[in-house]
Amino acid sequence: MIPIRDMNPRRSFPVVNLVLIALNVAFFFWELSLGPQLEAVMRRVAFIPKEFFEPGQIAADTQSMFLSMFLHGGWLHLLSNMLYLWIFGDNIEDRLGHVKYIIFYFACGVLATLAHAFASPNSPLPSVGASGAIAGVLGAYLVLFPSARVMTFIPLGFFLAMRELPALVVLGLWFVIQLFTGVASLQVTTAQDVGGVAYFAHIGGFVAGLILIFLMGGRKKPTELPRF
């Protein structure tokens, strides 16, 4: 299923969400500018689970955790992540407020990266993408707006049908797929065999979002603004 947009009005302008999208796009064009040096640079600046457990790497690993959230492995990776962030991120920012949303987003990203590191401690592959942080946004959205309607493309053989589905179905199914695929990937002995897809970053980020939205007061509905 491919979500297109949600029917969930917001009260405030999603400035942080738009800045995050702009930064992800800007960093991707920086990656494209590297040309044949891209792989070598990614191995220097991106998060690598195997290096995380080496002594004396705390400062470098902390920096790579945050930088990796703005790096992507290709156009499809970037566009799919930004689509989900565009659709679901604005409502979480609206509920938490701009500052809390920044903290929430990066906290989910860090916890997602840690989940990936502990699930694949021997992986030598650079881990890049905003998927973990965005998974946290999806988890929070599921908690706050399970009944929100999401316009979704549904593949039916060679055809695509467009339907309005509740967020509970769209995001719940997304998480179930990540969970089952992640568990299945544990049967694989090498990181290369799973194509470098960090399923446990998705799982960890989603669970982090489920929990953090409660801890950060997201369940409390904002006071209605006066209408004139």
* Residue 75 belongs to domain with CATH number: 1.20.1540.10
Q: Quickly list H helices, the chain.
A: 15-33, 38-45, 49-52, 58-68, 75-96, 98-119, 131-144, 167-185, 199-215
Residue 159 has pLDDT above 90, yes or no: no
Q: Does a structural domain hold residue 39?
A: yes
Q: Does a structural domain hold residue 153?
A: yes
Q: pTM of the predicted model, to two decimals? A: 0.89
Q: Does a structural domain hold residue 225?
A: no
Residue 59 has pLDDT above 80, yes or no: no
Residue 80 has pLDDT above 50, yes or no: yes
Rounded mean pLDDT of 98-120?
94
Residue 2 and residue 155: Cα distance in Å, rounded?
9
Residue 141 and residue 198: Cα distance in Å, rounded?
21
Residue 189 has pLDDT above 70, yes or no: no
Residue 109 and residue 85: Cα distance in Å, rounded?
13
Quote the number of domains for the chain. 1
Which domain does 178 fall in, by range?
Answer: 2-187+195-215
Q: Does a structural domain hold residue 221?
A: no
Q: Does a structural domain hold residue 220?
A: no
Q: Does a structural domain hold residue 224?
A: no
Tell me the one-letter amino acid at 106: F
| Banded pLDDT at 227 (limits 50, 70, 90) | very low
